[in-house]
Structure 1
């Protein structure tokens, strides 16, 4: 059995991938990477190989990657330094002799600078290109927008306000559950035939915020309405409410991308890979708002 290393082991996605992997492989065949040993102690206790490293520290990555065959590379979330961090990971993996990298990228139908979320996609595109010319085998997992982000986008007080307020127009997004993506990753890491492939991982149905408002209304018994302001009004309203600028940019960017139809791609690939349908928005919202 080849040895697999999971980066981002203390994050939600990394934890879920580890949980799914330990159903099918021995703890000794799994290594995990994190910056804080204490947070990984529970994995060390059960026999998982815990390694300490930081995307900002090339030498720590080079040491941590020794003896690893497959690397599950969770993209970083430090937007200012992510490009350099990703370069460190790819270069260290190559020097360490890693044979195959599985990378978590992002699925957006507009990969040009005209996209309102180009600040998200740009580093992914660069990293994909580095992987393709690295000489290592690669699998690029293009994740659609996490369904788990819906309560954040909608707002924690939506049942009180009765309003979803986002500048997404009538656009739709195929929100995809993080847990489904983790299950796919575990499958790809433990089966053959995925080398040098790109997978568009998305749900089999796309939803507008108007449809989401109706679903939450039906679940909660409260009337929820969707209002789509202009981007200017949205930015002004949230600024006056004291929301930090970086969050406004994030909420507005994803909303405008949805409005442009950049995140509405659907397919049945998740079902093909793991043998069950991807989780629907109805199922997810039922757990949150019932």
Structure 2
């Protein structure tokens, strides 16, 4: 039975890991990638590898119709714009149905609070709309609900040089636990599913890291790695906004940091499903190991 796989988001950090793992595990002719710019360096590399390049954009229905021809399984990486996500994703699902795609794997997100008062209300709503759109489309699906990527840690607290200057992690995350998961573990599991999609038909999987950790504990681990004391301060929301404004951070960056920090404080990402361990057949990469590689 044919299984031509199309990877969207193929030039992004998660999509590229999926493509590179697929190259090791299936024939090149079974892989296609969706890119917006064929002149992108990764897109050129894929073409040199013999991977079929399809040019498309979630906002362009005609490009999607062309790209989805002959595809059996779609790895559907969620778009980044919260405000437009649901609309753009509906384009993908509608076109996938029209093209006769047999199976869609969608990268969604994990959360606990689905109310309008949740810090993640916009994110939750767009993902819920997409999940419902997929479920009602009639296409066989696997919904992959991701916890926060471990790579988000560095984005939230800064790289090694920044931390050594401030010697402080300053976020309103309180004592909230998060089951961070490295993208390489997600990619490994999701390639396994892409190669055996029928085993995961119409399943919703919650993908968490095997450990739950606070930013206070992260500060301690990084202190050991950089051999300098890194303190953790969890300010009140207003104080955090005021300090970030003083530092001159753009307002949209402050809003993102505040939103995810408050969600962490609320326990949104303290999730303990072992679906990812079951697919991997092992525990996820330890956070000590991940932080060592990031901050050594």
State the TM-score, normalizing by the size of structure 1.
0.97
CA distance in 1, matches of 2:114, 2:149: 18
Match of 2:178 among 162, 169, 173: 173
Mind listing any 5+ residue stretches in structure 1 that lack a counterpart?
none
Q: Which moved more, 1:110-119 or 1:126-135?
A: 110-119
2:226 is aligned to 220
2:33 is aligned to 32
Mind listing any 5+ residue stretches in structure 2 that lack a counterpart?
none
**Pairwise CA distance, 1:188:** 0.5
5 Å matches for 1:30-109? 30-39=31-40, 40-109=43-112
**Pairwise CA distance, 1:128:** 0.2
CA distance in 2, matches of 1:250, 1:119: 12
Q: Does residue 141 in structure 1 map to residue 144 in structure 2?
A: yes
2:18 is aligned to 17
CA distance in 2, matches of 1:289, 1:36: 33
2:158 is aligned to 155
CA distance in 2, matches of 1:144, 1:224: 25
Decide whether the 8 Å contact of 2:83 with 2:122 is kept in 1.
no
**Pairwise CA distance, 1:199:** 0.4
**Pairwise CA distance, 1:256:** 0.5
**Pairwise CA distance, 1:270:** 2.1
Deviations 1:142-164 (A, max 9, x none): 00001001011112311221110
1:208 is aligned to 214
Q: Does residue 229 in structure 1 map to residue 235 in structure 2?
A: yes
CA distance in 2, matches of 1:111, 1:141: 17
Q: Which moved more, 1:149-158 or 1:160-169?
A: 149-158
1:195 is aligned to 201
Deviations 1:69-127 (A, max 9, x none): 10000000123322211011001101011011000000111122221122222211100
1:269 is aligned to 275
**Pairwise CA distance, 1:279:** 1.1
CA distance in 2, matches of 1:77, 1:4: 22
The total of aligned residue pairs comes to: 290
CA distance in 1, matches of 2:177, 2:200: 29
What secondary structure does 1:187 align onto? helix
CA distance in 2, matches of 1:117, 1:242: 24
State the TM-score, normalizing by the size of structure 2.
0.95
What secondary structure does 1:175 align onto? coil
